[in-house]
Amino acid sequence: MAIKFERVSYQYQSIDKRGYLAIEDVTLSIAGEGEFITLIGETGSGKSTLVQHMNALLQPTEGRMNLFGIKIDKDTKRQKKVKLNPIRKQVGLVFQFPEYQLFEETVQKDIIFGPRNFGVSEAEAIKRAKEVIKVVGLDESYLKRSPFNLSGGEKKRVSIAGILAMEPDILILDEPTSGLDPMGRNALLKVFNDIHEKLNKTVLIITHDMNTVYEYAKRVLVMREGVLVYDGDPLQLFSRRNIENWNLETPEILKLQKALQSKFNIEIDNYPRSKKALFEAVKEGVKQ
Amino acid sequence: METIIEIKDLTFGYSSDQEVLKNINLSINKGEWITILGHNGSGKSTLSKLLIGLLKARNGTIRVDGLLLDENTVYDIRKKIGIVFQNPDNQFVGVTVRDDIAFGLENLQIEREEMIERIDSFSKKVDMFEYLNKEPQQLSGGQKQRVAIAGILAMETDVIIFDEATSMLDPKGRRKIMEYMRKLNEEGTTIITITHDMKEAVESDRIVVLKDGKILKTDTSTNVLNDKATLEQSNLELLLPLELLYYLNENHVDRKELKDYLWQLSLSE
């Protein structure tokens, strides 16, 4: 496993010295390829704190992590010899509103900034920029443009391209589709799905959108008050009765399926995986 | 009905060779709940910045409660219109949550006693009372967004603009803010929601659809929600039950009670 957490806790320091526990006793493993994970939970439940541990931006105040073979615990900070840079290259983290972090004159300069920092030659970095710009669904002409004249969705794509250019094994995105219109959101989700399927990378997305969880994810992590309360299959999560107790919404597809099934006597598969599957089932069900 | 905001022939561009808003005409009634719906880049956030005088129109006029918006009236107008932005990091000004909520009240020169009372009651309304002494970096994105909302609500302005203000909230947090908007509106506050989320648009009285800086359509919410052509043109989506309804129609499935039910479901969000 590329990422291993063993009973990891993190306490934030504050001026009043009391501090507060943002994540508590989290144990989990994530593979370095082929996973599509969503991380959900209420605001303030510790989701962002959790993922910031995954590339060692934060280090546990209790417990241990093993990130790509590098062992990290609360003493790591003091041991200056532990090199964390390789982890940052392998685990790419895209923050909330990454578009605010664009700063170069051209899209190309922005994309090659990361790889150049990790010692990649300029020629190689530019070659990568040409590849990743296509992965995020934009064409090469964008490389010469100024990032500041792009739309919100395009800026998000450029910042994701910048992380991809570092060729991480794991790509983590903190609420990547918030603020995008439906078409922009769907297009970006398709990009993540391609990164997962075609490049075989592990993709982890923090989201509040249960439809994303239901339609895309193969695994879902649920955080609640700093504690990891669920780690498993999305279907099983939504078939449990108590998801409302965790303040989670039912995905739209399931809501509609349940409403129709209780009101009309239509035979519909209990867990249609896509809109199309639900619509066709309703059409066939009505005909009978 | 009394008009609170009157927009006439409004045109704006960030540079001389571009027009982000083109010839916008719109009047908003006192006590109305109106949604400005549009894709990313449609000009909807620009419109909200013009309304509170953060940007200056190239052409046209804005009147708020009869007052023409210009350099002299902008501060008076900001006492009438509060705005909550999409990214709370852009509007967090206080060292602590308490300071942040107090900021707007200080500008309104509210008495100290009254200020303390409002900070307590509005922080409770958004479930942030226990966080009053926290610093912004200790808060999650969604919590900062709730603080921003409390800060604007505490100012008790006649009009509140929510510019994608619930984008970072979890479903429960979003529902709470929506409920609060409904309550404010019932009590007479004029609400302007700027969004591309159809669920937020359902409850408003009217919807204005913006596309590429122009008004594509202004109609009752029910009519706009059901207008597939307009929504598709604007990168927006039908609500799921309505999408199914269209699908059944296209496939010539006839079952009236099912279709009625889908319509009802879409409005009960």
Interface predicted TM-score (ipTM) of this complex, two decimals: 0.78
Residue numbers in B near A48 (CB within 8 A): 140-141
Q: Rounded to an integer, what distance in angstroms lies between the CA atom of residue A187 and that of residue A208?
A: 17
Q: What three-state secondary structure class fits A112?
A: helix
Map out the domains of chain A as residue ranges: 32-48+82-220+227-250, 252-288
Q: What are B178's strand-pairing partners?
A: none
Q: Rounded to an integer, what distance in angstroms lies between the CA atom of residue A113 and that of residue A116?
A: 5
Q: How do residues A246-259 score in pLDDT, each as one tens digit? A: 888 889 999 899 88
Interface subset of B 139-168, CB within 8 angstroms of A:
139-143, 145-146, 164, 167-168
pLDDT at residue number A173:
95
Q: How do residues A45-67 score in pLDDT, each as one tens digit? A: 999 999 999 999 999 999 999 99
Given a cut of 60, whether residue B269 has pLDDT beyond it is no
- For residue B234, the distance in angstroms to the closest alpha carbon of chain A comes to 9
CA–CA distance from A55 to each of A5, A52, A92, A179, A278 (Å)? Answer: 12, 6, 7, 25, 39
- Name the one residue in this structure whose structure tokens are 């439906």: A182
pLDDT bucket at A143, cuts 50 / 70 / 90: very high
**Amino acid at the residue A105:** E
pLDDT at residue number A195:
92
Rounded mean pLDDT of B1-6?
93
CB of A125 closer than 8 Å to CB of A112:
yes
Q: Do A153 and B196 touch (CB under 8 A)?
A: no
pLDDT at residue number B145:
85
pLDDT bucket at A152, cuts 50 / 70 / 90: confident
pLDDT at residue number A120:
94
- For residue B171, the distance in angstroms to the closest alpha carbon of chain A comes to 7
Given a cut of 80, whether residue A18 has pLDDT beyond it is no
Q: What three-state secondary structure class fits A142?
A: helix
- H helix count then E strand count, chain A: 10, 10
Residue numbers in A near B233 (CB within 8 A): none
pLDDT at residue number B94:
79
> Between these two residues, B91 and A153, which has the higher pLDDT value?
A153
Superfamily, domain A32-48+82-220+227-250: P-loop containing nucleotide triphosphate hydrolases (3.40.50.300)
- For residue A131, the distance in angstroms to the closest alpha carbon of chain B comes to 26
Q: In sequence order, what are the residues at sequence separation of 6 or more whose Cβ sits closer than 8 angstroms to the Cβ of residue A13?
A: A19
Q: How do residues B106-146 score in pLDDT, each as one tens digit? A: 888 889 999 999 999 999 988 899 999 998 778 887 888 88
Q: What three-state secondary structure class fits A62?
A: strand
pLDDT at residue number A70:
94
Q: What are B37's strand-pairing partners?
A: B195, B209
Q: Rounded to an integer, what distance in angstroms lies between the CA atom of residue A102 and that of residue A133?
A: 15
pLDDT bucket at B265, cuts 50 / 70 / 90: confident
Q: What are B78's strand-pairing partners?
A: none
Q: Do B167 and A14 touch (CB under 8 A)?
A: no
pLDDT bucket at A16, cuts 50 / 70 / 90: low
Q: Rounded to an integer, what distance in angstroms lies between the CA atom of residue B127 and that of residue B182?
A: 17
- For residue A127, the distance in angstroms to the closest alpha carbon of chain B comes to 30
Rounded mean pLDDT of B73-93?
84
Q: Do B168 and A278 touch (CB under 8 A)?
A: no
The sign one gets for the Cα dihedral B83, B85, B91, B95 is positive
Q: Which helix (H) or strand (E) holds A175?
A: none
State both tokens at A161. Answer: 């391209």
Given a cut of 60, whether residue A71 has pLDDT beyond it is yes
Q: Do A43 and B39 touch (CB under 8 A)?
A: no
Q: In sequence order, what are the residues at sequence separation of 6 or more whose Cβ sits closer than 8 angstroms to the Cβ of residue B130?
A: none
A287 and chain B in contact, CB less than 8 A: yes
- For residue A170, the distance in angstroms to the closest alpha carbon of chain B comes to 23
CB of A68 closer than 8 Å to CB of A56:
no
Q: For residue A179, give the nearest of B86, B146, B261 by CB distance.
A: B86
Q: Do B235 and A181 touch (CB under 8 A)?
A: yes
> Between these two residues, B216 and A183, which has the higher pLDDT value?
B216
User: Taking CA A124 as the corner, what is the angle to CA A190 and CA A141, rounded to the nearest 5 degrees?
Assistant: 50
Going through A31-187 in order, the beta strands assigned E by DSSP cover 36-40, 62-67, 70-72, 91-94, 170-174
Q: How do residues A205-248 score in pLDDT, each as one tens digit? A: 999 899 999 999 999 999 999 999 999 999 999 987 678 788 88
Q: Do B236 and A279 touch (CB under 8 A)?
A: no
Sheet holding B67-68, edge to edge: B21-29, B3-12, B59-64, B67-68
Q: In sequence order, what are the residues at sequence separation of 6 or more whose Cβ sits closer than 8 angstroms to the Cβ of residue B98?
A: B119, B123, B132, B133
Residue numbers in A near B172 (CB within 8 A): 42, 247
Q: Rounded to an integer, what distance in angstroms lies between the CA atom of residue A164 and that of residue A23?
A: 28
CB of B214 closer than 8 Å to CB of B234:
no
Q: Rounded to an integer, what distance in angstroms lies between the CA atom of residue B35 and that of residue B178?
A: 13
Interface subset of B 172-211, CB within 8 angstroms of A:
172-173, 196
Q: What is the 3-state secondary structure (H, E, C) of chain B?
A: CCEEEEEEEEEECCCCCCCCEEEEEEEEECCCEEEEEECCCCCHHHHHHHHCCCCCCCEEEEEECCEECCCCCHHHHHCCEEEECCCHHHCCCCCCHHHHHHHHHHHCCCCHHHHHHHHHHHHHHCCCHHHCCCCHHHCCHHHHHHHHHHHHHHCCCCEEEEECCCCCCCHHHHHHHHHHHHHHHHCCCEEEEEECCHHHHCCCCEEEEEECCEEEEEEEHHHHHCCHHHHHHCCCCCCHHHHHHHHHHHCCCCCHHHHHHHHHHHHCC
Is-above-0.90 flag for pTM? no
Q: How do residues B171-216 score in pLDDT, each as one tens digit? A: 777 888 888 889 889 999 999 999 988 888 888 999 999 999 999 9
pLDDT at residue number A15:
66
CB of A234 closer than 8 Å to CB of A217:
yes
- Name the one residue in this structure whose structure tokens are 């009157």: B6
A44: closest chain B residue by CA:
B140
pLDDT at residue number A241:
64
Task: Return the DSSP state at A144.
Answer: G
Mutate to test the interface with A, among B92, B172, B199, B230 (most CBs of A within 10 A): B172
Mean model confidence pLDDT for chain A: 90
Rounded mean pLDDT of A93-103?
82
Rounded mean pLDDT of A32-36?
95
Q: For residue B255, give the nearest of A43, A210, A286 by CB distance.
A: A286
Mutate to test the interface with B, among A149, A180, A181, A246 (most CBs of B within 10 A): A181
Mutate to test the interface with A, among B146, B147, B166, B170 (most CBs of A within 10 A): B170
pLDDT at residue number B107:
84
- For residue B72, the distance in angstroms to the closest alpha carbon of chain A comes to 32
Q: How many CB atoms lie within 10 A of CB B106?
A: 11
CB of B265 closer than 8 Å to CB of A259:
yes
Q: Do A184 and B169 touch (CB under 8 A)?
A: no
> Between these two residues, A199 and A288, which has the higher pLDDT value?
A199
- Name the one residue in this structure whose structure tokens are 């496993």: A1
CA–CA distance from B53 to each of A227, A250, B62 (Å)? Answer: 45, 41, 9
Mean model confidence pLDDT for chain B: 90
pLDDT at residue number A60:
96
Q: In sequence order, what are the residues at sequence separation of 6 or more whose Cβ sits closer than 8 angstroms to the Cβ of residue A141?
A: none
- For residue A180, the distance in angstroms to the closest alpha carbon of chain B comes to 6
B78 and chain A in contact, CB less than 8 A: no
CB of A176 closer than 8 Å to CB of A97:
no
B243 and chain A in contact, CB less than 8 A: yes
Given a cut of 80, whether residue A267 has pLDDT beyond it is no
